[in-house]
Structure 1
């Protein structure tokens, strides 16, 4: 037996074990032919990739080290006795090979793969192979099976009400922080809306990153349920409550590969919402030249797929297509987006009108799910709740219940105004480039970093007039963002006459 030791190395999602080369109980060379080892202590079992250590300061011969992630998953205190053995490859790899060779998989085969992925039996290479083979071709039946499998691995929430509403935007539009306005409006009306949101991976802010400026988002399952019971809604980080954990693993691999097919997108979103116990779901598909979906035809095909999976899974789905031609609101980055959200909820005169209007439209559609509300009056009811201050009061209650952030997050003090290169009218704004600039400025890791927009599509500008301001907290980030923005601002300005 070896003694368990925690090694302070962050291996992200990888489960890694470390063994000393001079281990007296095992010969490390024997394990080199195996991709993974099995670490065992009674009923506690863990699959891990093995690495060999020569540094005595890091590991003694009779110790087995586990990375931070692996140590948490093992769930044992340091010093616990463990044994190791070669791990057999998961049987579902045979299904994966069939998919690679162009075969369609049935529900049981996909369930086997997802269970093995969720239990960390697949390497990143094997997950990549699964994602790429699915991106090449998936039937609608496979999409349905994938959704079903991912929603049945991990926690599934249950609520004591017939109607549980939720909304989701497929992303790609900076500043589109409607959830933080929709949730308090809907909750103030009395419908249940337990909103689990993501952190940004490649964007300048996710809803969880922005909400974290105002309140805690890493709530436990029990804490989340208590907030929803008290406030009818919440805005929390979904990664902390173990909803569809296989999806989180798949996303961590597919994003760096740039894989974002409509089939995998639908399975990802729908599995999360089904796991969250939703009964009614509104999907927002922004369409624009630099959005994820660039044309009406692609939006229609995606809408049909959402509706099909929703109907088969017993989830009422409404899909709306929205304008994705430019960023929503005036801020890009957590602090700036939180500023815009609170300005809308406070009914400030300078609150961004596009963010307000889109939020009311979404909230109104969700309120139509209430059988007690007269049909067609959802938008008016949402407007009443916002203008009366009821939505703001409910947002304050949610913030208090989740845990208000007592230390204000400052806006980045390193700034640069990016100005118009000519006189004219703003014709287009490149959403992808604006998100990249904000990301280079440090968002979302630096919550005060981002972009403050001064001009939107249709505005007239004079040469030298500021278009937007970059905010950064660190010199290196500031240099990266400003150099990228000065190379190409992301704004296209045409003549006033055109």
Structure 2
């Protein structure tokens, strides 16, 4: 028996245990670093699984103690010092299916369910999860496998039921910095009276996810009961889906995908749709931006992705409409949570300085969603959305929802360090590299530092003179400042040519 100790280390969705090298169990029972163990407490029905780390410092754990990371300790829900026993964990049976996927084989519905169940129960280490993700990405997923994975992620979590025939949602597949349309679309739709209980994700590889940006203004970590209360009062919300345990396996997979910068097609579709189905959506608008530095580079690939979304949606009885939009450059001016929240508030409050591209795209998306309403005629959605925005009703609705979710009280560190990137020659902006811009904003500290990021001063088509500011970097810490400014100087995110470019005014296909 060992004494339980909480080791205040956040291991980010992985259970980790700490055992001293001089512990008699380590010496006699053959425990090794990185092996999985089962931790049992008398009176608990099921043991907790964790990856074992070996330490040599008694200040971390003594020879008669077992330390647990924050997440693992919380799962045991026991006080410090209680007696626990440990044993080697039995390897999950579903790992055999992962080996088959690595070999390029196709898995069935039951195999995906068992894999997701074992991942949820912490029977997989992050290395094993990474092996599963890489196998799915490298070997690809058949259409039926995408359905099986989506269903498995839905079935291993909670599902919401709003009790209405039409529950709308929207999602952009990402890859375009500053594309914070959801925070404008949602209050427009809610002000119209349609139900839009929006659960959003945090950033995976980008400088900000919608939940990160909304968190600048309001609390986004709501329980299911709190969500229902907000939606009943205001017909909309914008929260992080993680606290509601909607498709929780997806959150675990994302925690591994993020450092690997992975976002394969099959996993992308399964991730998005599992969250939407679990959130109780009946009608969904998907935005697929296309551009040379977007996730999807060509219209042909976008149309293939649209067919996959529609195929999986049909199997779940989920009505999906997919739009292919212009992804040639960032949307809005701010990149990073606080800067994007500023842009959103400017659009909602009809300020003259509001970024016009963010406003226009939001209105077009909102218009498409409004046309899910059987009382709205086709082609009339845009005008209705514009009237709701210009009347101030969308801004009032957003303020009411922020108040209902809880106004953000946490003070964020200011971005005291600034650096302006200027044009090296005169001409016209022909292209902006989304990947480089996003990477610079991430190096500056976004989204961890809410006020870090980039403010864009020039867009594609703009005439610039040598020395004009193209964008400004904001950082909270010197190290982030140095990383981001060095990268921006070595990697030119802007293409400037002598003659004006041919711009694309066609937002949607």
* TM interval, short-chain normalised: over 0.9
> Could you tell which deviates more after superposition, 64-73 or 312-321?
64-73
CA distance in 1, matches of 2:410, 2:10: 27
Q: Tell me whether 1:456 sits opposite 2:459 in the alignment.
A: yes
Identify the residue that residue 105 of structure 2 maps to in structure 1.
103
Unaligned runs of 5+ in 2: 502-509
Shift of residue 3, structure 1, vs aligned partner: 2.4
CA distance in 2, matches of 1:497, 1:387: 32
Identify the residue that residue 438 of structure 1 maps to in structure 2.
441
2:260 pairs with one of 250, 257, 261: 257
Identify the residue that residue 150 of structure 2 maps to in structure 1.
147
> Could you tell which deviates more after superposition, 445-454 or 392-401?
445-454
TM-score for both structures, normalised by structure 2: 0.94
Identify the residue that residue 83 of structure 2 maps to in structure 1.
81
Secondary structure, counterpart of 1:31 in structure 2: coil
Shift of residue 227, structure 1, vs aligned partner: 1.2
Identify the residue that residue 11 of structure 2 maps to in structure 1.
11
Secondary structure, counterpart of 1:284 in structure 2: strand
Identify the residue that residue 127 of structure 1 maps to in structure 2.
129
Identify the residue that residue 350 of structure 2 maps to in structure 1.
347
Identify the residue that residue 366 of structure 1 maps to in structure 2.
369
CA distance in 1, matches of 2:127, 2:117: 17
Shift of residue 61, structure 1, vs aligned partner: 3.3
Identify the residue that residue 414 of structure 1 maps to in structure 2.
417
2:341 pairs with one of 338, 342, 352: 338
CA distance in 2, matches of 1:332, 1:34: 38
CA distance in 2, matches of 1:440, 1:451: 10
- Flag the 1:367–1:65 CA change in 2: closer, same or farther, 3 A: same
CA contact (8 A) 2:159 2:246 kept: yes
1:61-80 → structure 2 map (5 Å cutoff): 61-80=63-82
Identify the residue that residue 506 of structure 2 maps to in structure 1.
none
- Flag the 1:371–1:474 CA change in 2: closer, same or farther, 3 A: same
Shift of residue 368, structure 1, vs aligned partner: 1.2
CA contact (8 A) 2:153 2:247 kept: yes
1:242-253 → structure 2 map (5 Å cutoff): 242-253=245-256
CA distance in 1, matches of 2:11, 2:129: 17
CA contact (8 A) 1:286 1:321 kept: yes
1:4-403 → structure 2 map (5 Å cutoff): 4-23=4-23, 27=27, 29-32=29-32, 35-41=35-41, 42-135=44-137, 136-403=139-406
Q: CA RMSD in A?
A: 1.8
Secondary structure, counterpart of 1:213 in structure 2: helix
CA distance in 2, matches of 1:171, 1:445: 18
Shift of residue 29, structure 1, vs aligned partner: 4.4
Secondary structure, counterpart of 2:52 in structure 1: strand
Query: What is the CA deviation profile of residues 58-93 of structure 1, one whole-angstrom value per residue up to 9, with x for unaligned ones?
Result: 323332211112111222222333222221101111
CA distance in 2, matches of 1:165, 1:34: 44
> How many residues of Structure 1 are paired with residues of Structure 2 in the alignment?
498
Structure 1 stretches of 4+ with a deviation exceeding 6 A read: none
- Flag the 1:422–1:26 CA change in 2: closer, same or farther, 3 A: closer
Shift of residue 54, structure 1, vs aligned partner: 3.2
Unaligned runs of 5+ in 1: none
> Could you tell which deviates more after superposition, 285-294 or 219-228?
219-228
CA distance in 1, matches of 2:468, 2:379: 43
TM-score for both structures, normalised by structure 1: 0.96
CA distance in 2, matches of 1:81, 1:239: 31
CA distance in 2, matches of 1:346, 1:484: 35
CA distance in 2, matches of 1:488, 1:33: 41
> Could you tell which deviates more after superposition, 53-62 or 292-301?
53-62
Identify the residue that residue 479 of structure 1 maps to in structure 2.
482
CA distance in 2, matches of 1:200, 1:407: 19
CA distance in 2, matches of 1:14, 1:104: 28
- Flag the 1:469–1:258 CA change in 2: closer, same or farther, 3 A: closer
Shift of residue 30, structure 1, vs aligned partner: 2.0
Query: What is the CA deviation profile of residues 266-294 of structure 1, one whole-angstrom value per residue up to 9, with x for unaligned ones?
Result: 01110011111111111000000100000
Secondary structure, counterpart of 2:216 in structure 1: coil
Secondary structure, counterpart of 1:337 in structure 2: helix
Query: What is the CA deviation profile of residues 339-362 of structure 1, one whole-angstrom value per residue up to 9, with x for unaligned ones?
Result: 110010011112111101110111
